[in-house]
Each structure stands twice: as C-alpha cells, then as structure tokens.
Chains A and B, each alone.
Chain A
Amino acid sequence: MIRLGGGSTIGRVVATEALPAGPHQFHFWTAIDTPIGIGAIVRVDAGNGRTVYAVVVDGRAYSDLATPLHEVVAAEGDPAGDRAPTRRTEIRLWTAAVLRHEPDEPIQPVPLAEVLLATEQDVEAALRMDGYLRGEQPTGIPVGVYRAGGLSAPVYLDADFLLGPESAHLNISGVSGLATKTSAVEFLLSSIFQRLPSHKGSVAALCFNVKGPDLCFLDQPAELTEADEELYSVMGLAPRPFEKVRYFAPYKADGVNLNTLRSNADLVGDVQPLVWGLREVLDYHEVLLNRDDIDAKADAFLDFLADRVVDKQFRDEWGNTHRVGSFAELQLLFKAIFDGLEAAGRGDSWRTHHIATIRKVRNRLLNISTRCKGLVTDDGTVSDLPFGQFEDRSVYMLDVAGMDQLGQDLVFTRVVTKLREHLERGDLGVDHVVVFVDELNKYAPADGPDTYVRKMLLDISERGRYLGLVLFAAQQFRSQVHRRVVGNAGTLVFGRMDMDELAMPSYQVLSPATKIKLATLPKGDLMVRHPHFTQPIFVRFPRPAVLQGPAGVKRFPPAVDVPFEEAVVRQLTAMDKRIPPARIRDCIAGRREDDVRRALLATARTRPDDVEGYFTASLGPGVRREAAGRDQDATTPLRSVEDPYAT
C-alpha cells in the first residue's frame, strides 16, 4: 500500500465519450495500491486558478482480459493450475462526486488533470467548513475525523444548522447492537457542550432513556483507547464525561423503589423521582385516552374539569366546596356528584353533561393513576423537571425504560410540550435544548395512527428550530419514520445499515459502493449528511468518554427491590451517607406509607443540606394510624345507577 500524505498526486482524471467528465461527477485512475477508497476526498487543479473538490463514490477495477474464456484457455481449464508468471495489467478507475468548485461560477466540467489527495485545508474547503470555522463568530462543532491516505482531519458541523435557526435537528440511523447510535449522540452532545461558542447562547440536553441502561452513567468516565484519545486530540476535544447531569426516574408500582437501572447505592442518590399529579396529567389526557373512546362530549367534560374545577375552589349544587388537586380529590368530587344526583333523583345529567359521559371520564381518568402507577400519584405530590431553571451545558436524563408505552408517551409529550412553552416564553433557563429520543420509529412511525406524540414530533421538527428546541432522534430504519420528521432533520447520520433498508427508495441517491460501505461500516464510523456538505461524508468518531450502559451495569450493579422501609432507608442514606439507618427506621415506624412517600419525595426533590432534618420535618408530627383510615377515602360504588364503563 502506498502511503501518501495530503497533497500527493494519486491519480489523473480520464474522460471518454462514453465516460465523460461532467461538472458534478468525473472519473480518475490511480495506481493499483492506492491508499484511497470510497469516501476519500480529492482535489483537482485545473491549472488556471480553478480547483475542484470531490469525494470518491465508486470504484472499479478491470484488466485487459477481453473475455473470461481467455483465462480458461490460458489455464487449460484448471483453475488450480500454475499461476501465470505475469500479472495482467489492471486499472483502478474511480468515480468521484464533486463537492465544490472554486470559484463557484462558472460551473464547468472537471478538467482532465492530476488528482491530489486532499490536505486538511482541502477538506475544510471541500466541505465548505471554511465558511463557519473562520471569521469573528465561528460555529463549528466537531462531529468526527475524516481519514484517508494517512490524513486525519476534523470534520465540523455548523451550529447554526445543527441547533438552529438556519436548520436544525439530527437524525441517526443504524442497525441495533453496535452501540453506534447512542454513542454517537453522546459524543456529539459532549462536542456541542465543549465547543458551542458563547455567542450562540446556552444549551442543555434532555435525553429520554427508553431502553436498558444506555444513558444511565453519563457522569461516569469510561476507559478509552489510545486511538480514541487521538481522535479527541485531532478534534481538540477533552475526553471527559458530562459534568452536570441530573437523572429523573419514576417510581416502580410500589411507589418507593425507583424504576431505573441507576439504582446502585453509590449512584441512586443522584436520581430524582419523577412524580406527577392530576394537574400534570390532565392537560395531556389526549395521550392517555383512546380517541375512539373519548368523543366530543367527553372532551367537553374534560375541558370543564380542567378549566373550572382542577386547582380551583369549586362549589357544587349540594353545598359542598371542592378543591381538586389530586386524583384522590377528583375521586371525592365524582362521588359527591353521583351521590348528589342520586339524592336529587336526577340521574340523567349534571351541568349539561350526561351522566354516562361523566361516568366514562371518571373511569378513564381515575384509571390513569393505576396504569401509570409510579409516575402518577393519587395524592397530588409532584416532583418534576426544573422547568425555568435549566442550566447551561447540563444533561437532564429521564429514565423511562422501565415504563410501558403509555407512560413513555405521557412523559415524552408533557416534557417536550413544557420545554416548548418555556422556550416560547424565553424562560426555560437556556437558549437551546437538545431532546434526544431513541426508537423514533415508535413515536413517529411512517404509517399507523396519527397519535398525539407523532403530531407533537412533527411540530418540533417543523418549528422547533425557531425556538431552540432541537430533536436528536435515532432509529434503526429511517424508512419507518414519518417523512416530515426525517425530512426536517438538517443533519443526517448513518451507522452501519441493513441492506434491506438501503434498498428503499430514500437511499437511491447513494452509489452502490457507498451503500456497500454503509452496510459494512465498522463500529465508530459514520456517514454524515449536513446542509454544507453536498455529498455524504464518512467520518470516525471516538467512543464517548462516558461509561456505556452494559459496562456501567457491571461496575454499578442495580440494587434489587427492597421492602418499603428498606427502600426509604436506602434512598435517604444515598442522599446523605451520615444518617444512621436505624434512625430512619425509627422515624418512619408506624407512619402511613403515603406520608412517608410524600416526605421522601419532597426531600429528593429539594436536595437539602440537612437531609434527615428536612425529611423529618416533611413527615410532620406522628399521628396514630387507625385501622379504618385508608378505607374512608375509597369511593363507594354506586349501586343505584348502572355503570356501563366500569370495566
């Protein structure tokens, strides 16, 4: 293999009538043992001030053999026969797609001149990076290292086209199991955090961990190879984990063990419970309630509840005053309505809402706290993301991997909607938020029902860039994602692809050789499409400097679920290791679990310096537990009116 540096002559442009050189594509030959391959960037100097930059998209080799039959004759029919003493003359003929003409006008066919291996400066010019790496306000974000013929050159994305406002969003595709998609996003987020210039404002990232422990150890360092460190060095990045990461996870159904794989005693103290009440859920009832089930009448009643009842003083016709702030209080309201109607002998409607509609809404709403147990509480306790206080260069990781699809949809919808609302008002705390969603094909499928989540993703895709709401999304098959969501992504990244996927029409623009390269791409290599790059570019990125999920689970094995008392002890001692477990046990002995939960949640949400004191204060003075206390709040089934929706 010839080892050449950038700027070395590696070939010569050839053109025939059948294979002419055009302004967008040309052919050149090289030595047999040329160091270049598919994806290499080359330069052609016309000699009159014109320079053409191009990327190799295809290659062919052939000899002067007119027909295979001649080989058979020469070998006398024996393929294992003596090897020919002379090797046939071969050619390496490459096809290159033009990246840039300099000057831009007039665009002319590529000159029949020498082909040179691109230097670092050539790579910069070829990818038009000079436009955003130079000047007073550079906006380059390293995405990887271009490597060919011994040259390693950093490749940058334009922050204006990655985070807005020019274009925005990033979509990454690749087969599962190679850890490329998540790793690439982790690396890129780190790159953004390190290199986003101050004039572009502040940025935070919000990641939904939808499967396994992928994003559970973003603050833990990983062991990197020398090759990885070299890549970081080429890009001028520091290989370090994220400095500011806040983890959020709902509880499990028991309401006290956190539903996350970051539950090791050494780490769980950093995880804040994600708990919502009625108010947080009601605005997103569309996500939770089946559209086939909830008609216009039910919608009207839900709106009535949201506008007139929830979090307000509400006086019913029977002289009762309600303040509904939780599912439990909502339950009491419904009970009062049904009891009142029954007492008044009017069983058909209440405030123009038919009793059947009210029953339907009651059952659906009250069922939510059961279906999303661990995330949604009956008692109105809330532990939420710090909307309005997002910090620059911080990662907010929501671990929803342990939740069912419905719960994930609810979390996703509410969180993103809140982000959008705050960004619109300019009071989120940061100027840009990168939202990372894996398995995008689940949330925004190309076909299937038009869900609330998909509509919201479309909205982000089409309008998010003006707000600073940026979607980094990943999926295995891009063709299975809604076209408008993918189409609005300014930057497309591809890891190793499945050949079946590459056969889809959306990949027709790629040459067969590029497709083969994509189908065999090694781990750590990516193909990048970016508005400034007129052709896809292959880069290599280093392993992210954060502990990967499987390694993290190995180093920090998740804690097994423990009984209520032990779970409380574990969480409080994780927040403050100085607290003696025995004192916590004494403190919660004989207390109602709901009260303990509420105090624990308040402590976890507040993160006070004096954990024990805060917890004790939140728990309040001890009240003797009465055997019938819990049952008094339960709704008594109405026996006089048939409930057709009680299933």
Chain B
Amino acid sequence: MADALRSAGGTVGAGALLTHVAPPVASPFGTASHVEGECILAIDVRGSAPPPEAVAFLDGIQRYAVEGRFGLVPVVRGYAAAAVLEREGAKLGVARAHQEEFLVVARSRLTPDQEAALEDVDLPIVECDVAERSHPILDVQLAAKEVERRREVVEAELAAAHIEEAPGSWLVVDGSLGGIGALEDGARVVGLVKSHETQFLEGADLEVALTLPEGHRTSVFARSAGARGRVFSFYLRLWPWQEHDLLHGLVRIERPPSEAAVAEATEVSRWLLAERAPLSAPDGRWDRLIYPIRQVETFLRAQAGGWW
C-alpha cells in the first residue's frame, strides 16, 4: 500500500486504527484574506531561537456534572478555572489563577420553590439557554456551553489582568484568541491553536498550509473572528508530518492584527519551535502541545483534583 501511494505521488500516513465515526465538525469553514503576500507561501524560519525572557502561558479548564433534575430540567454544577504561569529563568511559576464554581440551570423552567431551593445552595446560579422543547441530552449540552463560556470569561479576565500588569511580557494562550475578548492591536499575545476543525484557507493555499515542512510557517493571513472582526494567523509545523498525518505537528498561530504581528511572525515561530523541548509526551497531543501549556493544564487539573 505504501509503495502504491508513493508511486503515484501520495504520502504515507501512520495508519492509526479508528473505530468510531468522528463527531460532526461544528464550524468546518471560515473565511480568510491574505496579509503577507498575495498567496500562502511556505517560509523557512531557519530553526529555533531562544524565546523572549518575559513570557507567560495561559490556559483554562472546565468541569461540569449533572447534579440532578427538577422534572426534566437538569441542574448542572459547573467549575471553570484558568491560570497564567510565568516563566522565570527556566522555571514556571503561577502568576495568577482563578477558579469558580456555579450552578447552571434553565431558570425559566423552574418553579419559584425550586429556584429558592437552589438559591439556598450558596453557589451563583447561571442562566442557560433553552431549546424549543425539552431534550435530556440537548438541555445538558446547552448548560455545558454556559460552563464553557464561563471558562472563556475567566481566561479573558486573567489575560486582561496579565496584559495590564505585565505589559512588556508575551502571553501565549492555549487555543484561539476569539474568546479572549478585546485586545489591543499589536498586543504581545499569541494564540496557539492545536485543533484544525475550522479551515480558513482553501485550494492551493490550504494545501501549502497543511503540507508545510518541519520548521516552516505560512505567510500571515487574516481570518474572520466574529465580533472582533479579524485576527492575524499563520500555520507553523513543529514536527515533520511525513509518516504521520497532515495535521501532525501543525499548529496555527493567532495574533491581534497589526504590522508587528506580521513582522514578528518568523521570530515567534522560531521561539515556538524552541518550545518543542521538553516534549510534552506522554500527552497524546505532544506534537502540538507545548510543554508550558501542558504544565498550566497540569496545574489546573491538580487544583481541581478534588472537585466533583
């Protein structure tokens, strides 16, 4: 099989065994426009370089559990936490962290007695959306979305606090900048996107991006970002994808739009390449998950260890 693929110009993958159909992609496509050049190019960043001295890493986690129901209405207990770990020398230390616990429930479907009973629990109650009709799974999903939103809020608050208190420091955020809230153009904030569910490029541009050689980045493009307008972005290949799959070792970097974001794209790429060590294995996402972000996750999981 491998020979057959190679003989016709194909590439050989890892051949990982799968058993389930992947869940449908919520937003498979987005829109983008070229910023750096007229088309997407693969740019050799010429190896790694030491990261800036002042750099911090932000991540958040969420937990939720269906504590019970009033009739069909689920009562969900949610937990959201985020932390910023700052690197001093080579050591990560907690710069700021926040965690909160709350109830998520469709208040409009509760009786006054039920609502009063929940208020006695001494946890903030967060209203969640409701579907047209009651649905035991969909109602929980809607509550979970609210937990996720709370996590994004916590992350955004910590990011804002960090940017304000350490304006010269770089902040690497796990995931898209979409949820981080308002950021000044040119802010030293980097979004590190590991999942590639939404594709903003298409055609030859997409092929260049997804087949980037190791140590290369794409030219910078702007993607649509809802209310924020647009975010500058580029792909970066951390590890060679040959013998794996297209997305192996591929991350997408996001920056608030500015000329600096374009000028700094190679520099940012080079120090993100340096972040490949230490390896974040045995985490299954080790090819895209840089170690400091994993450490933020580890810290948050340890903090949430007793939560249930």
B305 to chain A, nearest CB (A): 13
In the bound complex, residues from chain B placing their C-beta under 8 Å from that of A88 are: 278, 291
The A-contacting residues of B in range 85-143, CB under 8 angstroms, are: 87, 89-92
Assess whether B90 is in contact with A85, with CB atoms less than 8 Å apart. yes
B282, A86: Cβ atoms closer than 8 Å: no
Which of the 9-residue segments A67-75, A287-295, A504-512 touches chain B?
A: A67-75
* Chain A positions within 8 Å of B278 at CB level: 65, 70-71, 74, 84, 86-88
A82 within 8 A of B: yes
Q: How many A residues touch the partner, as a band?
A: 10 to 19
List, in ascending order, chain A residues with CB within 8 A of B48's CB. Answer: 82
- Contact A74–B92 (Cβ < 8 Å): no
Bound Cα distance A64, B292 (Å): 13
Q: How far is the CA of A290 from the CA of B90 in the complex (A)?
A: 74
Give the residue among B50, B87, B91, B277 with the most A Cβ atoms within 10 A.
Answer: B277
Residue on A nearest B299 in the bound complex, by CB: A89
Bound-complex Cα distance A41 to B48 (A) = 47
Q: Does B295 make an interface contact (CB < 8 A)?
A: yes
Q: Are B292 and A74 in contact (CB under 8 A)?
A: no
Task: Confirm or deny: B51 has a beta carbon within 8 angstroms of a beta carbon on chain A.
Answer: yes
A contact residues around B271 at 8 Å (CB): 85
Interface size classification for chain B: 20 to 34
CA distance in complex: A602, B90 (Å): 80
A80 to chain B, nearest CB (A): 13
Contact partner, A82, options B91, B277, B281, Cβ 8 Å: B277
Q: Which residues of A contact B90 (CB under 8 A)?
A: 83-87
Docked-complex contact A89 and B277, CB < 8 angstroms: no
Interface string of A68-107 (1 = CB under 8 A from B): 0011011100000111111111000000000000000000
Cβ-neighbour of B281 out of A66, A85, A86 (below 8 A) = A66
A605-618 CB contact bits vs B (8 Å, 1 = yes)?
00000000000000
Q: Is B304 an interface residue (CB 8 A)?
A: no
A385 to chain B, nearest CB (A): 67
Nearest residue, chain A, Cβ from B294: A64
**B contact residues around A74 at 8 Å (CB):** 276-279
> How far, in whole Å, are A102 and B282 apart by their CA atoms in the complex?
44
In the complex, how many angstroms separate the beta carbon of A68 from the nearest chain B beta carbon? 11
C-alpha gap A88/B91 in the complex (Å): 8
Main secondary structure of the interface of B (DSSP, over half): loop
Contact with A along B280-300 (1 / 0, CB 8 A): 011000000001100100100
**Could you tell me the distance in whole angstroms from the C-beta of A612 to the nearest C-beta in chain B?**
80
| B275 interfacial contact with A, CB 8 Å | yes
Instruction: Name the CB-closest residue of B to A90.
Output: B91
Let me know if B274 is at the binding interface, CB within 8 A.
yes
B91→A87 contact, CB < 8 A: yes
Residues of A near B91 (CB, < 8 A) are: 86-87
Most interface-central of A67, A73, A85 (chain B CB within 10 A)? A85
Once the chains are docked, how many angstroms separate the CA of A66 from the CA of B279?
10
Instruction: Establish whether residues B281 and A70, one from each chain, have CB atoms under 8 Å apart when the complex forms.
Output: yes
Bound: A75/B279 CA distance, A: 9
Closest residue of chain A to B91 (Cβ to Cβ) is A87
Please, which residues of chain B bring their CB within 8 A of the CB of A65? 278
Q: Give, as a whole number of angstroms, the nearest-CB distance from B110 to chain A.
A: 41
Return A85 CB to nearest CB of chain B, in Å. 5
* Chain A residues, CB < 8 A from B51: 85
**Which residue in A67, A73, A84, A89 is a CB contact (below 8 Å) of B295?**
A89
| Chain A residues in 8 Å Cβ range of B50 | 82, 85
Chain B residues with Cβ below 8 Å from A71 are 278-279
Please state if A70 and B279 are interface contacts (CB–CB under 8 Å): yes
Shortest Cβ distance from residue A88 to the other chain B in the assembled complex, whole angstroms: 5
Q: Which of B241-295 contact A (CB under 8 A)?
A: 271, 274-279, 281-282, 291-292, 295
Closest 6 CB pairs of A and B: A74-B277, A84-B277, A74-B279, A87-B90, A66-B282, A70-B279
* 12 A-B residue pairs with CB within 8 Å: A65-B278, A70-B281, A70-B282, A74-B279, A83-B90, A84-B90, A85-B90, A85-B271, A85-B274, A85-B277, A87-B92, A88-B291
